Amino acid sequence: MTPSQIPDVVVQARPLSSRDSAILIGFPGSGLVGSIALAYMVEKLEFDSIGTMTSKYFPPMAMMSEGVISVPVRIYEKSRFVAILADIPIHPQICYEVSNAILDWLKPFNISEVVTLAGIITNEPEKRVFSVATEKPLLDRLGDSTIRLPIGSISGIASSILTECKIRGIPGIGLLGETINAPDPRAAAKTVDVLNALYDLHIETTGLIEQAEEIEAQMHRLAEEVQTAEEHTVRKETQLPMYG
């Protein structure tokens, strides 16, 4: 096979074990909200690994744990839930190809809906979860657990997947955890809470809150170190001798 014959995106996975599955998708983005939330859910509910997704356009990198390589985009399943979890961001130029590859692979399985998990940067500290959907009844299902985005736009792989869902007539929901531009397990915990309400799950989010507190403490210490360094520099400058 020549390079020009290699598919843009390759999904290698066993067939889904149930019909009407809900597909949960989390790629790295603002605050890493989607990937943190979905990785936590996969771990807590003990999903089974069923496949991978690769592309000649993905960056040449792989994550590892205790020396064991992990494929950057992985597919998991548990009961009627399928999780597509990524360690790498998707470049805007290949969002269309990735979105179509995912939905083309899912086409034979008569899925019930797609839910994308992502972050949205705001100037507010509440850690709210915003929502968009391909149809209004899907937003009604969420009730008061999210805030509907009234107007505007979303971008990135989540928007590409939801757009393709709209075109194909597949129910699609987008959950956007309010975040800052740094790893945000607290926003991820709020997003998991919405999944709990939507699917009657009982995922305990204490572990995410503990991660958030640890990260916040590290950021606080870093801020103090930076401030101390700046104050030391100012004092040193004021003590410089003057010549003339």
The predicted pLDDT at position 13 comes to 96
Cut 0.85: pTM above it: yes
Percentage with pLDDT > 70 across the chain = 91
The predicted pLDDT at position 241 comes to 58
For residues 103-118, give the mean pLDDT: 96
33 close to 118: Cβ distance less than 8 angstroms: yes
> At 149, which amino acid appears?
L
Beta strands in 45-186, from DSSP E residues, in sequence order: 48-55, 63-65, 68-70, 73-78, 81-86, 113-121, 129-133, 147-148, 172-179
The predicted pLDDT at position 205 comes to 94
Tell me the H-state helices in the chain.
33-44, 95-106, 136-142, 156-168, 185-199, 206-238
Highest mean pLDDT among 106-115, 146-155, 175-184: 106-115
Tokens describing residue 238: 């004021």
53 close to 97: Cβ distance less than 8 angstroms: no
Q: For 21-38, what is each residue's pLDDT tens digit?
A: 999 999 999 999 999 999
Task: For residue 3, name the pLDDT band (cuts at 50, 70, 90).
Answer: low
Give the three-class secondary structure for 76.
strand
Q: For 57-109, what is each residue's pLDDT tens digit?
A: 998 888 888 899 989 999 999 999 999 999 999 999 999 999 999 999 999 99
Q: How far apart are CA 232 and CA 7, in angstroms?
A: 57
Residue 232 pLDDT > 80: no
Q: For 156-209, what is each residue's pLDDT tens digit?
A: 999 999 999 999 999 999 999 999 878 899 999 999 999 999 999 999 999 999
The predicted pLDDT at position 124 comes to 83
Residue 236 pLDDT > 60: no
Q: How far apart are CA 145 and CA 141, in angstroms?
A: 9
Residue 226 pLDDT > 80: no
The predicted pLDDT at position 222 comes to 74
The predicted pLDDT at position 182 comes to 84
The predicted pLDDT at position 150 comes to 86
Residue 1 pLDDT > 60: no
- 138-164 in b/e burial notation, b at 16+ Cβ within 10 A? bbeebeebbeebeeeebebbbbbbbbb
